[in-house]
């Protein structure tokens, strides 16, 4: 074991390195190292910190995720009210604003700063001594909810700001950063793709999804979303510490926050209008959705002089872009098979211009949505492009004279296989794993890093393999030959050989990976592992009944039904057989029972422990087979009490539950 001093040095070095790479990846979008390498650094840090729990600090990158679910939010008062913004819906209204500002301070000319109006959840981040200590939602403007553990999971939020940067801008260690938590279009689409894959409902828009993910009691849920934070206000002691807002934005950027990088100083309201014009055209190309432009008076002294109304500052305004709507005729409703096998009804529209783009199709998402809209072929509908590139049908504005309802299919339109809708799902799906519509997606999933780890099998190659007919399903991968492979675009003999080597190597991977790689619905990595451990062979899993499957920990009726459905499909049976014949590893050692010293025991923690963080202590309990809950009841076996325990301690006493101090807890673990 390393000495504590050496460990402290290693820990400091690792943290700095990890912070740098988080910044490159999550703020600059320019990673310098691979994900795998990043994970390695993080694991090194976590291992060292586990060895030296006293060295864990709240701003360590290891502390982003963790933290047990909480029972409720604390309400916190804002240092200075978090106001809303007044809106301007036309350039006339923008000019009125400008006139009010100039009259208010008796000047002819005022400098403004324009920024994108992010559409998300506003949040206040409070730093003390340069370290993030609190994250609070806007709430009613005067008080908000303390969501600190949740915001810490957002990687573009710095957990601490370097002292030299604060010094450079003459900023105190205690300051506040306000900004917006948002979800980028890519993150939102990714989440919805995942939802669809699991047969769950699509989220409606990035804004509500981001807001919902922050306002949850379990930070693990926040962490599972790819959220971003954009800073738009810097305060110290409730006031802007720098002379100009533009300086604040520049400082925030150097403090390693994301800001609206395209912010612009404007010397007149005409320049502001130009800025609004420019971004109205380009806003679709931004990685995030904006619903307008925020215009702020640049000089802090002028802001101060103008003050605010009860609702909003007088020194800022939000110019809102008009929604783009148009009406058109539904010529037909067709069904497309998505890359995940979901059957998606699509409205074929009489082509119409919406905000400069010709729209001739619009997804109706699923049958529930068709029903909700009550749309039929021949109807006239209102369509809208609200920020997102893909337009959607808002409502039926006029029913067609010869309207006819759209009937859902009974077979997959691509391959003729059965289609299926699970009880609590919205989408019908083709059950054939080798359905041509799903081929590319299943190949990419199969090759994924956490599945069969065939790194060289990227999208470009998969497209060619499928389009040329060389590969129809994942089993075909194991029969690829060097020559035709090397003849593909972007391939040469060497890269083709590398790919073949990787494919060959994948045969030896664990059964749990293979089960996951098959892409059975609801079977994720962890379920794959549990199934492999439980059944020990693909053969046994393939023949398992729903009853047998439900015996596996964490496998419920829905998952069990999906597995049985998968293996009962003839095309899938054939596929599995061919994989076995190709020589893949289809057996797994059954795991020796793990450490079960605390099996069946339920723990509750209260107060601070000196040697462990909550997560570490909780982790120790679960790794020994025990369970951690957040509140004390008659079912609780032990309450572990640290420094300054809360009401749980009293409750434990009144219920007569065994109370352990930290030393007793450690002893119990080492028994
Ligand atoms: P609204 O909710 O429409 O009244 O708009 C006010 C909200 O816009 C503020 O509370 C902020 O959360 C948000 N907002 C988004 N982008 C910015 C920005 N660049 N500057 C200030 N506020 C912003
Ligand atoms: Zn199909």
Find the CATH number of the domain harbouring 53. Answer: 1.10.287.610
Extract long-range pairs of 368-373: CB within 8 Å, 24+ residues apart: 368/426, 369/345, 370/333, 370/345, 370/406
Q: Among 241, 234, 290, 232, which Cα is nearest to 261's?
A: 232
The one-character DSSP state at 607 is S
Query: Is residue 654 located within the same domain as residue 517?
Result: no
Mean pLDDT of 572-587: 93
pLDDT for 195 beyond 60:
yes
- Shared domain check, 443 and 312: no
Give 432-490 pLDDT, tens digit per residue: 877 888 888 889 899 988 899 998 898 889 989 988 889 989 999 999 999 999 998 88
Highest-confidence range of 155-159, 205-209, 558-562, by mean pLDDT?
155-159
Q: How far is CA 324 from CA 181, 320, 394, 411, in A?
A: 25, 12, 11, 37
CATH code: domain of residue 356: 2.40.50.140
Q: How confident is the model at residue 39 (pLDDT cuts 50, 70, 90)?
A: confident
Give me the pLDDT at residue 180, please: 97
Which ligand is closest in space to the CA of residue 337?
2
> Given a cut of 90, is residue 223 above it in pLDDT?
no
| Amino acid 407: pLDDT | 82
- Please state, in angstroms and rounded to a whole number, the distance separating the CA atoms of residues 583 and 506: 10
Q: Tell me whether residue 569 is in a domain.
A: yes
CA-nearest residue for atom 3, ligand 1, is 85
Tell me what percent of the residues of the chain surpass a pLDDT of 90. Answer: 52
Query: What pLDDT was estimated at residue 285?
Result: 85
The residue whose CB lies within 8 Å of the most ligand 1 atoms, and thus the one to mutate among 112, 116, 122, is 122
Q: Quick one: which ligand is closest to 141's CA? A: 1
pLDDT of the residue at 355: 66
Q: Among the listed ranges 101-110, 326-335, 354-363, 410-419, which one has the minimum average pLDDT value? A: 354-363
Nearest Cα residue to atom 23 of ligand 1? 117
3-state SS assignment for residue 110: coil
pLDDT at position 292: 92
Residue 593 has pLDDT above 60, yes or no: no
- Among 80, 118, 142, which residue has the most ligand 1 atoms within 8 Å of its CB, making it the best to mutate? 118
How is the beta sheet containing 658-660 ordered, strand by strand? 627-628, 602-606, 638-641, 658-660
CA 605 to chain centre: 29
In the 8-state DSSP scheme, what is residue 477? G
Q: What is the pLDDT of residue 245?
A: 98
Task: Give DSSP secondary structure letters for 170-232.
Answer: T--SSEEEEEEEE--HHHHHHHHHHHHHTTPPPPS-HHHHHHHHHS-S-HHHHHTS--EEEEE
What pLDDT sits at residue 592? 52
For residue 387, pLDDT beyond 70: no
Q: Are residues 632 and 544 in the same domain?
A: no
Per-residue model confidence (pLDDT) at position 169: 94
* Ligand 1 atom closest to residue 121's alpha carbon, by position in its atom list: 12
585 and 620: one domain? no
Structure confidence at residue 405 as a pLDDT band (50, 70, 90): very high
Cα 95 to averaged position of ligand 1 atoms, centre (Å): 20
Q: Is residue 512 part of a domain?
A: yes
What confidence category does residue 664 fall into, taking pLDDT thresholds of 50, 70 and 90? Answer: confident
Whole-number pLDDT of residue 108: 93
What residue ranges in 573-671 does DSSP mark as E strands? 602-606, 627-628, 638-641, 658-660
Q: Which atom of ligand 1 is nearest to the CA of 117?
A: 16
- The residue whose CA is least distant from atom 12 of ligand 1 is 122
Q: Any idea which ligand is nearest the CA of 229?
A: 1
pTM of the full predicted structure? 0.60
Report how far ligand 2's centroid is from the alpha carbon of 23 (Å): 43
Q: Is residue 415 part of a domain?
A: no
Question: How far is it, in rounded angstroms, from Cα 120 to Cα 207?
Answer: 5
The pLDDT of residue 275 is above 80: yes
Cα separation, 386 vs 623, in Å, equals 48
State the distance from the centre of ligand 2 to the C-alpha of 524, rounded, in angstroms: 22
Please indicate, yes or no, if residue 214 is contained in any of the structural domains.
yes
Same domain, 491 and 512: yes
The radius of gyration of the chain from alpha carbons, rounded to an integer in Å, stands at 29
Q: Which ligand has the shortest distance to the CA of 121?
A: 1
Rounded to an integer, the average pLDDT of 41-50 is: 92
For residue 562, report the distance from its CA to the centre of ligand 2, in Å: 17
**Residue from 84, 117, 320 whose mutation best tests the ligand 1 pocket (most atoms within 8 A of CB):** 117
Q: Rounded to an integer, what distance in angstroms lies between the CA atom of residue 432 and that of residue 268?
A: 62
pLDDT-based confidence at 271, cuts 50/70/90? very high
Among 68-77, 90-99, 141-150, 390-399, where is mean pLDDT lowest?
68-77
Domain containing 371 equals: 325-398
Centre of ligand 2 to C-alpha 117, Å, is: 43
Residue 150, pLDDT above cutoff 90: yes
Question: Among residues 344, 516, 476, which one has the least CA distance to residue 413?
Answer: 344
Average pLDDT of 607-629?
Answer: 77
pLDDT at 321: 86
Is 240 found in the same domain as 124?
yes
CATH of the domain at 626: 3.40.50.10190
The DSSP element (H or E) to which 125 belongs, if any, is strand 121-128
Do 209 and 188 form a contact (C-beta atoms < 8 A)? yes
CATH number at residue 206: 3.30.470.30
Q: Is the CB of 312 under 6 A from ligand 1?
A: no
Determine whether the shortest distance from the Cβ of 115 to ligand 1 is under 6 A.
Answer: yes
Q: Work out the pLDDT band at 303, boundaries 50, 70, 90.
A: very high
Mean pLDDT of the chain: 89
Q: Please answer whether residues 434 and 571 qualify as being in contact, where contact means their C-beta atoms are separated by less than 8 angstroms.
A: yes
Residue pair 271/241 in contact by the 8 Å Cβ criterion? no
289 pocket-lining for ligand 1 (C-beta < 6 Å): no
CA atoms within 13 A on the CB side of 609: 23
Mutate to test the pocket of ligand 1, among 81, 114, 289, 318 (most ligand atoms within 8 A of CB): 318
Ligand at minimal distance from the CA of 336 is: 2
From the CA of 186, how far away is ligand 1's center (Å)?
22
Distance 381 CA to ligand 2 centre (A): 30
Calculate helix-pair angle for 4-22, 35-51, nearest 10 degrees: 150
Which one of 590, 610, 625 terminates a domain?
A: 590
Would the pLDDT of 103 be above 60? yes
The minimum-distance atom of ligand 1 relative to the CA of 116 is 19
Q: What is the pLDDT of residues 123-136, one digit of tens each?
A: 999 999 999 999 99
- Same domain flag for 179 and 305: yes
What is the rounded average pLDDT of the residues 596-623? 80
- The verdict on residue 597 lying in a domain is no
List beta partners, residue 280: none
pLDDT band for 234, please (50, 70, 90 cuts): very high
**Residue after which a domain boundary falls, among 301, 320, 339:** 320
Question: Closest ligand 1 atom to the C-alpha of 115?
Answer: 19
Q: Whose CA is nearest to atom 16 of ligand 1?
A: 117
- Find out whether the beta carbon of 137 lies less than 6 Å from any atom of ligand 1: no
Residue at 595 is within a domain: no
* 468 CA to centre of ligand 2 in angstroms: 19
Q: Which residue CA neighbors atom 10 of ligand 1 most closely?
A: 84
User: Is 329 in the same domain as 313?
Assistant: no
Answer yes or no: do 112 and 243 share one domain: yes
Nearest bound ligand to the CA of residue 319: 1
The closest residue, in CA terms, to atom 17 on ligand 1 is: 117
Beta bridge partners of 429: 342, 420
Minimal-distance CA residue to ligand 1 atom 11: 122
Q: Are residues 581 and 539 in the same domain?
A: yes
Phi and psi, residue 598, nearest 5°: -105, 20
Answer whether residue 414 is part of any domain.
Answer: no
Q: Is the CB of 119 under 6 A from ligand 1?
A: no
Answer for the pair 615, 67: CB distance below 8 angstroms, yes or no. yes
The finding on whether 117 has its CB within 6 A of some atom of ligand 1 is yes
Q: What angle do the packed helices 185-197 and 206-214 form, to 10 degrees?
A: 80
The answer on 337 and 295 residing in a single domain is: no
Give the tokens for residue 401.
Answer: 């004279």
Is residue 273 located within the same domain as residue 189?
yes
**How much is the average pLDDT of 177-190?**
93
Q: How many CB atoms lie within 10 A of CB 553?
A: 8
Nearest CA to ligand 1 atom 7: 84
User: For the purposes of burial, counting CB atoms within 10 Å of the CB of 537, is it exposed (0-12), middle (13-18) or buried (19 or more)?
Assistant: middle
Beta strands 638-641 and 602-606, pairing class: parallel
Tell me the percentage of the chain whose pLDDT exceeds 70: 96
Q: How far apart (Å, rounded) are the C-alpha atoms in residues 388 and 352?
A: 17
Give the Cα separation of 104 and 640 in Å (integer): 61
Report the b/e string of 432-467 with b at 16+ CB within 10 A. Answer: bbbbebbbbbbbbbbbbeebbebeebeeebbebbbe
Element (H, E) at 72: none
- H helices of 269-407, in order, are 269-282, 300-306, 367-373
Tell me the catalytic residues: 117
Pocket flag, ligand 1, residue 122 (CB < 6 Å):
yes
CA–centroid distance, residue 563 to ligand 2 (Å): 18
Q: Cα(163) to centroid of ligand 1, in Å?
A: 29
The CA angle 277-187-521, to the nearest 5 degrees, is: 145
Q: Does the Cβ of 85 fall within 6 Å of ligand 1?
A: yes
Ligand 1, atom 9, residue with closest C-alpha: 84
How big is the CA angle at 44 (ends 41 and 45), to the nearest 5 degrees?
Answer: 90
Q: In this predicted model, which residue has the larger pLDDT, 631 or 382?
A: 382
> Does a structural domain hold residue 154?
yes
- Structurally, the chain folds into a number of domains equal to 5
Say yes or no: CB of residue 118 within 6 Å of ligand 1: yes
Strands (E), 119-163: 121-128, 131-137, 143-145
The answer, yes or no, to whether any atom of ligand 1 lies below 6 A from the CB of 232, is yes
Hey, is 48 helix, strand or coil?
Answer: helix
């Amino acid at each position: 074991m390393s000495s504590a001093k050496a460990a402290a040095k290693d820990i400091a070095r690792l943290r700095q390195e990890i912070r740098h790479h988080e910044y490159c990846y999550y703020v600059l979008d320019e990673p310098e190292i691979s994900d795998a390498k990043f994970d390695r650094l993080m694991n090194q840090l976590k291992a060292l910190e586990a060895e030296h729990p006293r060295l864990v600090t709240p701003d360590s990158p290891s502390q982003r995720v963790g933290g047990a679910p909480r029972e409720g939010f604390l309400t916190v008062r804002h240092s200075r009210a978090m106001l809303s913004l007044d809106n301007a819906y036309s350039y006339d209204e923008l000019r009125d604003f400008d006139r009010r500002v100039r009259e208010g301070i008796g000047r002819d000319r005022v400098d403004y700063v324009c920024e994108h109006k992010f559409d998300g959840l506003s949040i206040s981040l409070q730093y003390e001594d340069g370290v993030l200590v609190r994250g609070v939602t806007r709430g009613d403007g005067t008080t908000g909810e303390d969501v600190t553990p949740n915001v810490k999971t957002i990687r573009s939020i710095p957990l601490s700001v370097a002292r030299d940067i604060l010094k450079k801008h003459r900023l105190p260690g205690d300051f506040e950063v306000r900004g917006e938590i948002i979800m980028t279009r890519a993150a939102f689409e990714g989440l919805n793709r995942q939802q669809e894959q699991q047969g769950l409902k699509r989220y409606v828009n990035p804004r509500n999804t981001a807001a919902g993910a922050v306002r949850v009691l379990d930070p693990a849920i926040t962490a599972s979303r790819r959220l971003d934070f954009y800073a738009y206000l810097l305060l110290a002691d409730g006031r802007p510490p720098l002379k100009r807002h533009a300086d604040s934005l520049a400082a925030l950027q150097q403090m390693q926050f994301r800001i609206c990088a395209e912010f612009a100083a404007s010397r007149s309201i005409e320049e502001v209008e130009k800025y609004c014009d420019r971004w109205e055209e380009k806003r679709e190309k931004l990685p995030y959705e904006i619903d307008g432009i925020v215009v702020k008076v640049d000089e802090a002294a002028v802001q101060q002089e103008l003050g605010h109304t009860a609702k909003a500052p007088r020194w800022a305004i939000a110019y809102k872009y008009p929604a783009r709507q148009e009406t058109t005729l539904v010529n037909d409703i067709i069904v497309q098979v998505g890359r995940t096998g979901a059957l998606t009804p699509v409205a074929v529209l009489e082509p119409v211009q919406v905000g400069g783009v010709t729209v001739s199709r619009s997804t109706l998402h699923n049958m529930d949505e068709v029903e909700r809209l009550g749309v039929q072929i021949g109807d006239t509908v209102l369509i809208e492009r609200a920020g997102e590139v893909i337009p959607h049908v808002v409502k039926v504005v006029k029913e067609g004279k010869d309207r006819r309802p759209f009937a859902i299919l009974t077979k997959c339109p691509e391959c003729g296989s059965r289609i299926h809708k699970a009880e609590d799902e919205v989408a019908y799906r083709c059950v054939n794993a080798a359905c041509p519509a799903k081929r590319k997606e299943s190949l990419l999933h199969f090759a994924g890093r956490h599945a069969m780890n065939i790194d060289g099998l990227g999208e470009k190659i998969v497209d060619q393999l499928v389009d040329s007919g060389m590969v129809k399903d994942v089993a075909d991968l194991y029969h690829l030959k060097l020559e035709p492979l090397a003849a593909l675009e972007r391939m040469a003999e060497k890269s083709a050989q590398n790919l073949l080597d990787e494919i060959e190597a994948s045969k030896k991977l664990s059964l749990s990976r293979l089960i996951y790689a098959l892409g059975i619905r609801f079977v994720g990595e962890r379920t794959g592992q549990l199934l492999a451990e439980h059944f020990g062979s693909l053969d046994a899993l393939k023949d398992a009944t729903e009853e047998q499957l439900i015996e596996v920990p964490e496998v419920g009726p829905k998952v069990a039904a999906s597995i049985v459905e998968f293996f009962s499909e003839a095309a899938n049976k054939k596929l599995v057989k061919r994989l076995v014949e190709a020589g893949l590893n289809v057996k797994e050692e059954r795991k020796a029972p793990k450490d079960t010293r605390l099996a069946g025991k339920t723990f509750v923690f209260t107060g601070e422990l000196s040697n462990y963080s909550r997560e570490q202590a909780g982790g120790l309990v679960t790794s020994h087979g025990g369970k951690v809950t957040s509140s004390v009841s008659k079912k609780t076996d032990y309450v572990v009490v640290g420094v300054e325990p809360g009401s749980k301690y009293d409750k434990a006493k009144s219920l007569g539950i065994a109370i352990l101090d930290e030393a007793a807890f450690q002893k119990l673990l080492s028994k």
